[in-house]
Structures are given as C-alpha cells and as structure tokens.
C-alpha cells in the first residue's frame, strides 16, 4: 500500500500540474482500487457500486485542487469513497429500505490496507511450502473444498491431503511465529 501511495501521489501531482495523461492514469488506477472497495461493501447491490464509483471519481476530480500534498492521497481518496458510501446508505434508509447486515459490517473494518496486507502475507508464506502442502492448504483451508474433492483435484489420497494440510499448517505457524519476533 505504501507503494500504491507513492505511485498514486506522483500521478496526482503530475495531473494537478496539467499533465492530462497522468491524470487519466491516476483516475484509472483509483477506479480499480475503489471498485474493489465498494463492491466488497455492496455485495447485495453490485450495480449501486458502479454508480457510487462514478460519483466518487467525479468528487475526486472536481475537488482535486483542495488536496494538500502534505497528506497521504490514499487517505483522502478513501475518506471520500467512505463518505459517498455512508451517504448512499443514508438515502436508502430514508426510503425505508433495510441495509443488509453483511454489507454494513464491512464499514467497521479498520482499514482497507489491513485486509490486503493479511492476504499478501498468507500468499507469501504459502509460497515457502512444498507444492503438495501448498495445494492442500489452499484448497481445504482457504477455498473450503472438502478433503475428498481436494484429493481428487490434486491427485493424492485423502489421507495424504490430511497429512499435507496438517504438516503445512504446522510449518506456517512456525514461520508466522518467526516473522513476529
């Protein structure tokens, strides 16, 4: 996310200086991030997510002159997106519609970065395991496939998958403990 911040900020500043190409690249990059952010929070209404994305992009574009380079650009962008999202829910609520719990719960996740970091950490750690263990854990633990189906997919016996998952998990625990110290 730090990389994204540096990259986005550079594009934003060049766009502000009048570089239309940089501004377009900035908006495109932002729309990719925000689409994922909004869709995750509007799982029950994906078409609303696209509308909100466009509203947010317009808000970012028309207010870009008030952005202060001394502050992180990602914080600025997500604050605007979060505001548009809350405003959207408020409008729906006034119309007497209920907000699905699974959508609202997403609002309380502390930061978008945390989820991304966690996902990246798991991927990185998994890459350190032998192929057999990695596949077993990915299917059984991350994708929720049954041991039987996983065995069929990888081409191992069921007990092999169980043992690989178990060993792999133990190794992962050790790696994470090492990473923390």
Partner 1 sequence: MKTDDLIDALARDSETPRTGLAPRLAFALIVGLLLATGLLLAFFGMRPDIGAARMMVMMKAGFAALGAGVVLPLLLQLAKPGRAPGWRIAAIGGFVLLCAGVVAAALLGGDPSERFELWMGGAFPWCVVIIPLLATPTAALLGWLVRDLAPTRLTMTGAALGAVSGGIGAMAYAMYCPVDSAAFVATWYAVAIALCAVIGAVAGQKLLRW
- Which tokens go with 100? 């699905």
Q: Which residue of 82, 92, 132, 167 would you call a contact of partner 1, by CB under 8 A?
A: 82
Residue of the chain from 43, 61, 120, 174 that contacts partner 1 (CB under 8 A): 61
Does position 28 bind partner 1 by CB under 8 A?
Answer: yes
Q: Are 99 and 92 in contact (CB under 8 A)?
A: yes
Are the C-beta atoms of residues 44 and 102 closer than 8 Å to each other? yes
Choose one: 74-82, 112-120, 126-134, 164-172; the region binding partner 1 (CB under 8 A).
74-82
**167 to each of 130, 159, 161, 164, 170, how far by Cα in Å?**
10, 12, 10, 5, 5
Contact criterion met (CB below 8 Å) for 137 and 126: yes
Would you count residue 83 as binding partner 1 (CB under 8 A)? yes
Interface with partner 1, residue 87, by CB under 8 A: yes
- Report the residue from 40, 59, 145, 154 that binds partner 1 according to the rule CB under 8 A: 59
**Closest by CA position to 117, among listed 129, 128, 108, 109:** 109
Does 54 engage in binding with partner 1 (CB under 8 A)? yes
- Of 2, 3, 47, 62, the one binding partner 1 (CB under 8 A) is 62
How far apart (Å, rounded) are the C-alpha atoms in residues 77 and 36? Answer: 14
Evaluate whether 42 touches 49 at the Cβ level (below 8 Å). Answer: yes
Q: Identify which of residues 59 and 175 has a Cβ nearer to partner 1 in the complex.
A: 59
Chosen residue from 2, 66, 94, 108 binding partner 1 by CB under 8 A: 66
63 versus 120: smaller Cβ distance to partner 1: 63
Told to check if 71 binds partner 1 by CB under 8 A, we report yes
Q: How far apart are CA 162 and CA 116, in angstroms?
A: 28
* Contact positions vs partner 1 (CB under 8 A): 18, 20-21, 23-24, 27-28, 31, 35, 50, 53-54, 57-59, 61-68, 71-72, 75-80, 82-83, 87
């Amino acid at each position: 996310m730090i990389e994204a911040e540096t990259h986005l900020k550079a594009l934003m500043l060049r766009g502000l200086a009048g570089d239309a190409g940089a501004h377009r690249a900035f908006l495109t990059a932002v729309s990719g991030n925000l689409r994922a952010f909004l869709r995750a929070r509007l799982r029950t209404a994906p078409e609303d997510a696209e509308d909100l994305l466009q509203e947010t992009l317009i808000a970012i574009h028309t207010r870009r002159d008030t952005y202060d380079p001394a502050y992180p650009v990602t914080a600025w962008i997500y604050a605007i997106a979060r505001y548009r999202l809350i405003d959207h829910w408020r409008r729906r609520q006034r119309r007497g519609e209920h907000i699905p719990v699974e959508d609202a719960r997403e609002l309380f996740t502390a930061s978008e970065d945390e989820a991304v970091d966690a996902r990246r950490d798991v991927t990185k750690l998994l890459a350190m395991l032998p192929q057999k263990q990695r596949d077993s854990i990915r299917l059984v633990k991350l994708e929720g496939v049954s041991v039987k189906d996983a065995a069929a997919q990888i081409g191992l016996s069921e007990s092999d998958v169980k043992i690989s998952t178990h060993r792999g998990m133990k190794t992962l625990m050790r790696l994470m403990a090492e990473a923390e110290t």
